[in-house]
Every structure is written in structure tokens, then in C-alpha cells.
Amino acid sequence: MTEFTLIAASAAVHHDIVECRHLIDGAWRASEDGAISERVSPSHGIVVSRSAKGGTTETEAAIAAARKAFDGGVWSKASGKSRATVLLKVAELIERDAEKMARVETLETGKPITQAFGEVSGAADLWRYAASLARTMHGESHNTLGPDMLGVVLKEPIGVVSVITPWNFPFWILSQKLPFALAAGCTCVVKPSELTPSTTVMLGELLIEAGLPSGVVNIVLGYGQPVGALMAEHPEVDMITFTGSTAVGRSIASAASGTLKKVALELGGKNPQVIFPDAAIDDAADAITFGVYFNAGECCNSSSRIIVHEDVAEAVVEKVVALSRKVAFGDPLNPETQVGAIVSTAHQQKIDGYVRDAVAAGAKVCLGGAALKVDGLPGEFYQPTVVAGVTPDMAIAREEVFGPVLSVLTFRSFDGAVALANDAAYGLSAGVWSDSVHTCLDFARQVEAGTVWTNTWMDGFPELTFGGVKQSGLGREIGPYGLEEFLEVKTLAMRIGRTRAPWVKAS
């Protein structure tokens, strides 16, 4: 039996380079200084896209366009019905173009084509859900303040929103933010990761086709400096929503503090799955395997550490190792592939460094632990890796590895399991496996996480809000709370009739 399941390159890839430009006030523009950057596929080594590289001029122009559009009211004052109509049309167009977009996303990220397709086509549902919120959102009325008073709380769009996204789920994460901001009536400046600009630009085309007015969504391509930093600090921006690393999240919060604009952050995670001895071990092992290898572990929701009861630890690890050997790693353009390439050489080295350091500190590699060669592809791949004997002090147990690497820790008591799960700076998601509803509920209430899965992993729905506690972030996305993030509230206290007693006594 071979150690891993590998899928070699299927055939030579024919690809027309995607030319990406900025979208500013309804027009596609190159950078003023003509600067460009190219994205080379991390799996296939070919140039996938060539993008205008933005600077201060383009960022200022995009923010000014969003400001003008917001203040002009073309979108911010439009009815919920007309906003919803555009969002629904965008959803339809995303589905029409999903195959084309998925292929480009696969080449830019290295992720498997079936998962890129699932990400893009699935995101259409986020646009549909946001459309439903655009029509149904409302404020509050207070009819209990006395016969001469009526209170009304209005919801208003917060204003101009900067949207900054990462490379790991470029289209999904954009769709967790943008349709909700638009449903609220905000105008936006969007910056995708410099590694994955194409699907954001393709969406820009769809927004125009769907009839979104000019200036409502502007796209600036480029790097964190100067584009992202200016989007965070600019006084004409009212809110910034960011998904990415905790380190950049901190710098964004600090840049935004100058104008005290609202900040929403979706950051990293070190998400545990806790397995009790009465759990359905086969189901748990499959979900652990999915949780660690999905998107090559380059996933904020990666279940990169498991905390297993000592009585079942050996059995669980044995099953996960056996399943890991069957997961298909290789050519991301092959529909059979389940795990593709690592996003960059530097990132591959970082992943390997975590494994090396854990071994040096006494952990044991049960499977993998090295780079993987895929026949016919020049890119970076990493073996499915299971590391046991991990202790809570090791970096591999505390930090995001963001690779296909599982850390195994063990526990003896329920309280010990909760303590280990909560012994993290992050608090994005957590899972519990037990046949006892009492154990699951008790754990779910004590664990510090924004999402808890019981006897499952990573199920998500547009209706169910998502976000982290502790250093995993600020604020929430999707679900009704995902809309609330982009709304301000305004209180109206109204007197009925001339019943107000004078404050100044009549002389």
C-alpha cells in the first residue's frame, strides 16, 4: 500500500491570463503610474492574472467615489425592494459564471476545482439571503412610554465601508461581507488579497451587469501598504471590515483608531475538536480528517488540534491516520482531488517549521511531516500530517499552522478537556463529540468560541451568524447579525400633542 493517495497532473493547462484593473466610480482603470503585479499559480507555476497595482492615488479616488455615491443617496436611500432586486440579479449571474470563476480561483489559490466551484456557486446563496434582509430589516417602535410619547428606533446604513479580504476563500469571504453591506445601503471600497484578485474583479463585472449604480462598489487592487492601510485610516471611511491574520487585524484596529471608525475583524483560530469516549468514533475520525485537510488546512475554521480522551486516543489517531492516507492530494484541476497546493513557498516553509519545532520539543509524527511531490506539477504541496504527543505549551498547539497538520492532545476529565480547549488566545470555533446530549450542551456552554459544532464539523448556513471571541475577532458576519454590523441606529423620541410642561417657570 502506498503511503498517500496522490493525483498527478492531468494535462498541460491552457489559460488566458486574467487582466485585472481597479473599478473606480463605475470605470475600469489602470494605475496612474502603470504599476502591475502578476500572480503565478502555486500549483501549476503559470501566470494566472496580471493586475494593476494600486497606490495612494487609486485608493483616494475609490474612497472619494464611494463617499460621493453614499452622500448622493443613489443606493443609501434606495428602497429595500430595489436593493434586493440588484442583489438577486448578482446571485443569478454568479451561478451563471461559477465554472469560469472557480477555475481561475483554483489556479490562483491551488485549491481543488470542486471546492472552488462549491465556494463560488454556494456564495450565490449569501447574496440571496442578504437580499431577503434588505427587504425585511426594520427598527423598533416603543408604544409604552406614556400616552403623549412615541419612540422609534431607525436603522440607517453606516456609510462608506472598506472591505479587505484574504487569499484562502477569496470569493466566499467577500460574499460574507459585501452583499450584507449593500443590503444595509452602504457603499464600499473593496481590496482583495494581492494573491487572489481575479474573482473579486469578475464580481465587479457582474455588479455592473446587474445594474448596481456607479461608485457604490469600488475595487482597488494592491498590497496592504499603502492600499489597505489607507482604507483603514482614511477619515472619509466610516467602517472597516477585515478578514485576515490577527497581526494585520491589530494594525488595522490601530490605524482605524485615529478616526474612531467602526472596526469588524474576522481573524485566526486554533479550533479544537474534543472527543469523549462515548462518541461515534468513526464519524468523529472522518470529521477530524475533513476538518484538518479541507482547503489544505488554510482555513480559519481548520480543526488543527484535537483533544481526545485518553481511553480512545490511540483508536482515534489510528483511524485518522488510516483515513488520511486515502485523502486525494494533488492536481487541483482534477475533480477527484480533495487537497491541492499550499499558497506559497514561504508558507510551505512556515508549515514545515511548526512540525520540525514540535518534533524537537518531543512530539511524534504519526504520518507525513514533509513536502509532497506531485508528478507533473512544479508547485508546493505538503503531506497529510498527524502529530501526536503534543503538549499545550508547543507552538503547534497554540498558533495557527494554516496547513494540513493535525495536533493531538489528550485529556482525562471533562473539566480538563474544557480547560485545554479554552487554553488559547483564539476563540473562533470548537467541536464536541459525544453521544450524551448533556456532555455536548455542557461543553458548548463552557467553551470560549463564536461557533460550536456538536457531532459535526463546519456545517454553515447563511442564517447562522459567524465570528470569533477573544483574539479571533470583533463583530459578526452573515445571519441577521451580519446585516446589523453595517447599520447605525437613530433614536426618535416624539411628543404627541402640546403636553410638554415648560422647564422655565412662567414669571
* C-alpha closest to that of 61 among 18, 100, 31: 31
Whether the CA torsion 402, 405, 408, 409 is positive or negative: it is: negative
Q: Which of 28, 223, 414, 481 binds ligand NAD (CB under 6 A)?
A: 223
Q: Is 186 in the site for ligand NAD (CB under 6 A)?
A: no
Q: Which of 232, 306, 387, 409 binds ligand NAD (CB under 6 A)?
A: 232
Which one of 77-85, 266-274, 276-284, 355-363 is the stretch in contact with ligand NAD (CB under 6 A)? 266-274
Cis upstream peptide for 226 (omega within 30°):
yes
Considering only 174, 300, 312, 421, the residue that binds ligand NAD (CB under 6 A) is 300
**Cα(142)–Cα(156) distance, integer angstroms:** 18
Report the nearest approach of ligand NAD to the CB of residue 248 (Å).
3
CA angle, 450 as apex, 447 and 451 as ends, to 5°? 85
Does 199 bind ligand NAD (CB under 6 A)? Our answer is no
135 burial type by CB count under 10 A (0-12 exposed, 13-18 middle, 19+ buried): middle
Whose Cβ is closer to ligand NAD: residue 80's or residue 228's?
A: 228
Q: Does the protein bind ligand NAD through residue 221 (CB under 6 A)?
A: no
CB atoms closer than 10 angstroms to residue 250: 13
Report helix, strand and coil shares of the chain as percent, to nearest 5.
40, 25, 40
Which residue is catalytic, options 20, 186, 188, 300?
300
Judged by CB under 6 A, the residue of 102, 116, 160, 173 near ligand NAD is 173
Nearest distance in Å: CB 214, ligand NAD? 24
Interaction of residue 194 with ligand NAD, rule CB under 6 A: yes
| Contact between 165 and 192 (Cβ < 8 Å) | yes
95 is catalytic: no
Spatial contact of 289 and 455, defined as CB atoms under 8 Å apart: no
Q: Which of 317, 287, 431 is nearest to 385 (CA)?
A: 317
Coil, helix or strand at residue 15 = coil
Which of 185, 159, 160, 190 is closest to 175 using CA atoms?
A: 190
Q: Is 380 a catalytic residue?
A: no
The residue from 228, 272, 332, 475 that contacts ligand NAD (CB under 6 A) is 228
Catalytic residue among 108, 266, 298, 448: 266
Per CB under 6 A, the list member of 49, 59, 168, 304 interacting with ligand NAD is: 168
Stretch that binds ligand NAD, among 106-114, 247-255, 416-424, 451-459 (CB under 6 A): 247-255
Q: For residues 256 and 118, give the distance between their C-alpha atoms in angstroms, rounded to a whole number.
A: 34
Q: Let me know: does 39 contact 51? Beta carbons within 8 Å.
A: yes
By the rule CB under 6 A, 251 interacts with ligand NAD: yes
Residue 164 makes contact with ligand NAD by CB under 6 A? yes
Among residues 238 and 400, whose Cβ is nearest to ligand NAD?
Answer: 400
Pick from 159, 244, 291, 404 the residue near ligand NAD by CB under 6 A.
244
Q: For ligand NAD, which stretch binds (CB under 6 A), given 71-79, 246-254, 316-324, 376-384?
A: 246-254
Distance of CA 156 to the CA centre of its chain: 25
Q: Which residues bind ligand NAD (CB under 6 A)?
A: 164-169, 173, 191, 193-194, 223-225, 228-229, 232, 243-245, 248, 251-252, 266-268, 300, 400, 402, 428, 468, 472-473
Catalytic residues: 266, 300
